[in-house]
Every structure is written in C-alpha cells, then in structure tokens.
Amino acid sequence: MRSWFLARRYDFLALLLLACAAVAILFPLWSPGIPNPGDFLMSVHRIYELASAWENGIFYPRFGLDLNFGYTAPLFQYYPPLASYIGLAFHQAGMGFIAAAKAVASLSLLLAGWGAYAYTVTLLKNRFAAFVAASCYLLAPYLLMVIYERGAVSESLTWAILPWLLWATHRYAVNHRRGDGLAVAALVALTLLGHNATALFVAPLAALYAAVLAIVIRDGKALLRVAGAFILGASLSAFYWAPALLEMNLTKSTEFMFSGGTSVEANVKQLITFAQTSLVALYAGPERFRFALWPLLAALAGVIGLVAARRRPPLLWFWVGVLGVTALLQLDLSLPFWQRVPFVRYIQFPWRLYGIIAFSIAILFGTLFAGVRLRRGRNVWQPIMAIGLLMLFAWLSLTNLRPERLPIWEAFDEAGVNQRAMWERGQIGYPLFGDYTLRTLSIDDRGLALSRPVEDPMRLPPIVAPEKLEVRAENPVRYVLDVRAAQPWTLRLHRPYFPGWQVLVDGTPVNVAAGGVGGLVSAELPAGDYRVVAALGDNDLRRAANVISIVALAIWLVWLLPWRRWWLDVGLVIGLSVAIGAFITYLQTDGRFARYPLTTQANFAEGIRLVGLDLPTTTVCADDALTMRLYWFTDRTPRTDFKIFLHVTTLDDATKVAQVDTMPFDSFNPMTRWEPGELVDFAQAIPLTGVAPGRYRVLFGLYDQETGQNLQVEHATFILPGDRVQLTEIDVVDCTP
C-alpha cells in the first residue's frame, strides 16, 4: 500500500511539472494576434461557422453557412469536426473565437505531454524516464511548429491523442480489461475525427503496435481483442469519415491536393536537406519544414543507449524501426510508396509525419534514464544530467518562438472575426472557401463575388414566375414555401446542389439537380396551388454511415455494463440504437426552423420581388441596430447590379434619420449573379446611431447605381412617392440604465 501511494505521489508531481512546462511553452501563444493567417485563422472560422449553425438549430452541419459569400460550402462534410466542437465548447464558456482556438491548441499540447508520460510509464515501468520522455515530447520542435508557425489546431489534437491511443492499446492487449478496450475504441474514433490526414498513419501505427505487442507477449487473442476495439472505434466515427472519403469526388479537392506546391512530389526531400543546419530550432525561413537537429542527436543517443543496455523492453526496437521508416518516408526515394499505395497521398505533406518521429525520439531518449531510481542521496548525477539536458532542449526549442521572431504572426483581434472580414479574404482567395469547391460550380469560387457581364453567354433565359410565392419558414438548410403558379416554373435556391437535397410538392418528391452557373439546387415545379418543402437531408450513404455509428455507440455503452449475457446485450443494443436514433431525429426536428418570415410582397420592374421579411422585433434601443432578413425572388438575371436602400424616416416622411445603401450580402453577391427562378435571402442591419427615441417608418427600394434612378415599384401594399415601399414601423426606445 505504501508503494502504491508513493507511486501516485510521483505521478501527481510529474503531471504537475508537465503542466507547468506546458504553460511556460504556451505563454507566447496567448500574446495578441494569431500565429498564422492561413491554417490558424481557418480553425477560428470553423468554430465561428459551427457556432452559426448551432444558432440556426443545426447541431451537426454538413455545410459552412457563411462560406463562398453566403452560397455555403460543404466544410464539415469533409473537414474533421473534433477541434471545432471542442473550440465551440470553449466559446460557449465565454471565450472569443480566437481564444477558443488557442485553448484547443493549448489543451492539445498539455494532453500530449500527459499522454506521453502515461504511455512511457506503462512501457518502461519507470516514472523518471517517463517524465524525461514526456518533457522531450512537449519540447519537440514539430509539435511547437504545428501550433506556433502553422497554427494547425486539428493536427495538434492528433499528436495529443497518439500517446493515449498507444497507452490504451498496450494496456488492453496485456490486461484484457474492458475499460481499456472501451478507451481504445473511443480513442480510435477521436483520432479519425481529429485530423483525417494524419489519422491515415496514426491509426495504422497503433494497429501495427498491437500486432507487434501480441507477438512479444505471445498472445494471439490479444490482437483479436484490440482489432475488435479498433473496428468499433472506426464504426463510432463512420458518420464522418465514410461520407468524407466516399464522396470526395463531388469536390475539386483532389486537384488541389495532388498538384503544385501541395503535392507529395513537391515536399519530399533529399537526404542532405532532411535536417536543419542550426542546432537552435527554426520556425521561419526555408528550413522550417526540415526536421530539427537536436532531436536527431537525442535519437542517436537513445539508440546507442539501447544497444549498450542489457535489459530493455523489446518493444523499444519497434520504435527504432518506426523512427527509421518514418524518416525514410521523408526522402525522394520513397516516392513510389506515396504514389502507389491507396489513400496515403491524402496526407499531402510527408513532413506531417514528423509528429511520429518526435514521439519515437522522446521514447528512445527517455529510455536512457530507465535505470534511474529516485532514492534519497543515490544516483543523483543521472537525474541532474537529465534535467540539464531538458533545460538545454528547452532553450534550443523555445528561443525562436516569440511572436516577433515569427514573420507570419498577424495582428488580429476578436473584432476581426466576422462575416464581412471573412468575405474580404475570400475575394483574394481564401482556402476555406476554395478547398471544398463543388464540381458543379462552373466558375472560380472568387467569381461568385464578381458582377456578371451583360454579354456573359452563361446567362440563362427568364422563367415564367409564379403568381404567388410566400416564404412560410426557413433556416439555411430547409425552406417551406406556399406557391400559386399558372404555368410550370423553375425554382432555384441560393445553395449549391449536394446529394441529399430534396424538394417536395405537397409531400411528393420532384427531381432535384444542379442548375445555373453556381450549380444551385434546382427543381422544375408544376402549375397549381401547393406547398413546397426544400430541405438538405442525408443520402443513402450518409444514412448508412449514421446507422453504423449509432449501433456502434449502443454497443460501446452496453460494453460498459458489468454483466455478460449475450441475449440481454443484443436486446440492449437494439433498444439503445432505437433510442439514440429517435433522440437524434428529435434534435434535428426541434431545430429545423429558425425563422418564420412575415408575408411581405413588393414587386419591382425587371422581375425582382421581395417575398418575405423576418423582423425579430420592432422595438429597438437607441444607438443599436435594426436587424432583419430579406427574402427575394427574381424571374431573370438582373441587367445591372441594383443597390438596395433602407431608410428610417419620421412618420410624416419629412426627415430621414438613418439609412443603408448597399448591394446584397454587403456587396459580396451582386444581383447580376442571381439566376432566373432563384430565391435569395440575406441579413441586413440598419445602424440607429444618434436616432432619438420615437416611432419611425422603415422604407426600402432599389436603384440603378449608374443613373441613380429608383427601380419602378409595380405592386406593394404601401407604396410611397419616388418608388419607395414601407416595410414596417418601429419604436426606438432609450435603453440606458
């Protein structure tokens, strides 16, 4: 009992010291600004997009709602969601989006250190050696580059999960405990949900480790048990990876990933360029993607120590082999492997495997101190030498981590995390927009924000518009419309077509396809009076993947139970699967509608119609902003980019107290981009700065930017002189305490 408490005391001290080291390492990360306007900012915007989806009652979105200037893009269909959901949890706890992304990266580094300690204790049975190995892993220049230079928050999670996955795999193979098997399954699922590219190597590495361990301990059944846990973990995450992998052909991603500077061919190295030339780790300049020099020296020392040692776990030679093979995969002579083995090209950059090299080195270097026994007054020179070397490693790794030494560190604060700022980046080419561009889009994603020339041959002919079109309910992936049409007509949504979109006419499905230049959701609708429901759901592949994950989750939960009766387990799995499926369906149904627009009709010349208005409130605080959502329909592509004006006037229309003149989507989606039959909705705000409390009118209209002439209003309930339409009346009140 005394030895147990002593061991727990050493564990607590080691974990506390590792936590303090992680805080010191991460201190510069929390300086003002962001480490990378590419990967890190995209991590921030993924959290922002997920928060936006939750606000609309969409708890597992496939699409990023604000991407591509409001057209949306299948961001969460393809990009692993784990880091974004953890970031959303931090955001819901009160953090800003930038702070939430930094918190995910910080948590990852802390868990990486703790995981390396837990695994090495299990392997070497020596807590001091485990502490040395974990510290070495914490200080690994590649892990720090992932956070500080690349800002790749999702990838940092992978290197945190790796040691824990190996720890659980080792324990389950050796001890056969059910809890360890549950941990293996959960960690496999988290690996696949964390970062898909590195998971292509991390998950097979853990599986290979289990196979080697089964041989070492001479227990073939252990490998079968671990394989079952791995299959369960893969099934738990099938709802994400199966559609992401099997529907990749719907996007242009492979062209981007397999060509130019992002291809494997452009990122393999010659032997002479594998390592950096400086002993101090470099995070900028042409050598930043070479492997740091000091860890290679630590690896050499670890291998020499292993050769010289008399008794060491044979599994250490596994890590020597992993180190050698992974290093070999960085060199140009490994190109046949990258080019011919299925799926591995999706990792893009061979140097992403530096994390595996760093972990192998940490284990081997920690092994040098596996003979240390922490007894008072004995063998003090080895611990002192280890601490001295760790301090040297810290200096070599951290010297260049200050923001002023990182040239791509960008001054950026929470105020810059907004839709408009994101769209401004999209105009000049933002990978978050272009990475998952659908093949049905016939122009560059940046072209969506540009005006369409009058002579553009891709302009579609006008359609015959329905006599009545009213938006009854809407959220970004579901529309309910009431229609009266004298002739058949074409409906297009301001959304790209993706398998799973369905359009129902009075409950009967009609054919849906990609239409127009943007590959929009398009359906040919009949004449008559009817209700249209257009919604993005799941296709057969996604439904099958969802069912697999639901059943796997039920199995995982039943596996927690202490008894083992096969007939009872089967019954519980079936019952839990039904209950989980029903709960998920309930969540989707409950959050299905975010808005119920008012029936507002205003017909303008040129076939442009306002068909709905969502106004959350008509009572607004002075110096606040009046927010609304406008729903438009057009039977043709407008000849020019009309501007919308929104005026707040006194009731007698004598004084204008506030106004906004803008093109749709803050000028990022001009009207000449609209297709015939397209239903378009977007949010708009009118600042009420300086407006005195009182009752006011809200007027609106359209005008030609070239002539300044208002577009003629052909029909509306309240038409005012000058081709203006009254939307509503509002009360501005004094809200100061």
Q: Are 63 and 43 found together in one domain?
A: yes
pLDDT computed for residue 253 by the predictor: 79
- Residue 64 reports pLDDT greater than 90: yes
- Residue 3 reports pLDDT greater than 70: no
Domain end marker among 367, 389, 405: 405
Q: Are 574 and 619 found together in one domain?
A: no
The span from the CA of 12 to the CA of 28, in Å, is 26
Query: Is 419 inside a domain boundary?
Result: no
Query: Is 474 inside a domain boundary?
Result: yes
Give the residue-averaged pLDDT of 534-546: 95
- Residue 319 reports pLDDT greater than 80: yes
The mean pLDDT of the chain is: 92
Neighbours of 724 (CB within 10 A): 21
Query: Is 531 inside a domain boundary?
Result: yes
Q: How far from 97 is each of 57, 75, 206, 270, 486, CA to CA, in Å?
A: 19, 17, 33, 40, 49
The domain spanning residue 712 has which CATH number?
A: 2.70.50.60
The span from the CA of 657 to the CA of 655, in Å, is 6
pLDDT computed for residue 380 by the predictor: 79
pLDDT computed for residue 696 by the predictor: 96
Give the residue-averaged pLDDT of 645-653: 95
Residue 546, amino acid: N
Q: Are 619 and 584 found together in one domain?
A: no
Helical ranges in 376-446 per DSSP H = 381-398, 419-427, 431-434
Q: Are 397 and 501 found together in one domain?
A: no
Domain end marker among 346, 372, 405: 405
- Residue 375 reports pLDDT greater than 90: no
pTM of the model: 0.94
Q: Which two tokens stand for residue 268?
A: 């393999």
Q: Are 585 and 630 found together in one domain?
A: no
Top-confidence residue, 158 or 3? 158
Least confident of 220-234, 285-299, 303-317, 321-335: 303-317
The span from the CA of 460 to the CA of 446, in Å, is 20
Q: Are 98 and 217 found together in one domain?
A: yes
pLDDT computed for residue 413 by the predictor: 93
pLDDT computed for residue 374 by the predictor: 66
Q: Which two tokens stand for residue 30?
A: 């929390």
Helical ranges in 56-125 per DSSP H = 75-78, 82-92, 97-124
Least confident of 30-34, 489-493, 584-588, 680-684: 584-588
Top-confidence residue, 448 or 167? 167
Domain end marker among 596, 625, 640: 596
Query: Is 415 inside a domain boundary?
Result: no
- Is 726:672 a contact under the CB 8 Å cutoff? no
Question: Which of these, 699, 711, 718, 698, lies nearest to 671 by C-alpha position?
Answer: 711
- Phi, psi values for residue 632, rounded to 5°: -120, 155
Give the residue-averaged pLDDT of 460-487: 94
Top-confidence residue, 585 or 389? 389
Q: Are 591 and 623 found together in one domain?
A: no
Count of domains for the chain: 3
Query: Is 496 inside a domain boundary?
Result: yes
Helix 196-217 × helix 354-367 angle, to 10°: 40
DSSP string, 440-486: T--S-GGGGGSPPPTT-TTPPPP----SEEEEEEEETTEEEEEEEES
What percent of the chain stands above pLDDT 70? 97
Query: Is 435 inside a domain boundary?
Result: no
Query: Is 222 inside a domain boundary?
Result: yes
Query: Is 192 inside a domain boundary?
Result: yes
- Is 525:532 a contact under the CB 8 Å cutoff? yes
pLDDT computed for residue 99 by the predictor: 97
What percent of the chain stands above pLDDT 90? 80
pLDDT computed for residue 16 by the predictor: 95
Least confident of 73-77, 240-244, 295-299, 338-342: 338-342
Give the residue-averaged pLDDT of 624-640: 95
Query: Residue holding tokens 């930038």?
Result: 98
Range of the domain at 182: 32-405
Least confident of 215-224, 448-457, 601-610: 448-457
- Residue 7 reports pLDDT greater than 80: no
Q: Which two tokens stand for residue 288?
A: 């930043």
Question: Could you read off the pLDDT of 170-197 as tens digits, one per residue?
Answer: 999 999 999 999 999 999 999 999 998 8
Q: Mapping DSSP to helix (H, G, I), strand (E, B) and coil, where does residue 234 land?
A: helix
Q: Mapping DSSP to helix (H, G, I), strand (E, B) and coil, where does residue 626 land?
A: strand
Q: Are 606 and 497 found together in one domain?
A: no
Confidence category of residue 377, pLDDT binned at 50, 70, 90: low
Q: What is the dihedral of CA 533, 536, 542, 544, to 10 degrees?
A: -10
Q: Which two tokens stand for residue 176?
A: 């056969």
Q: Are 191 and 296 found together in one domain?
A: yes
Least confident of 149-163, 369-383, 408-422, 499-513: 369-383
- Residue 122 reports pLDDT greater than 60: yes
Q: Are 208 and 165 found together in one domain?
A: yes
Q: Are 363 and 223 found together in one domain?
A: yes
The span from the CA of 610 to the CA of 631, in Å, is 6
Q: Are 590 and 620 found together in one domain?
A: no
- Phi, psi values for residue 641, rounded to 5°: -85, 90
Residue 211, amino acid: A
Q: How far from 422 is each of 32, 343, 573, 668, 681, CA to CA, in Å?
A: 19, 32, 45, 11, 19
Helix 354-367 × helix 153-175 angle, to 10°: 50
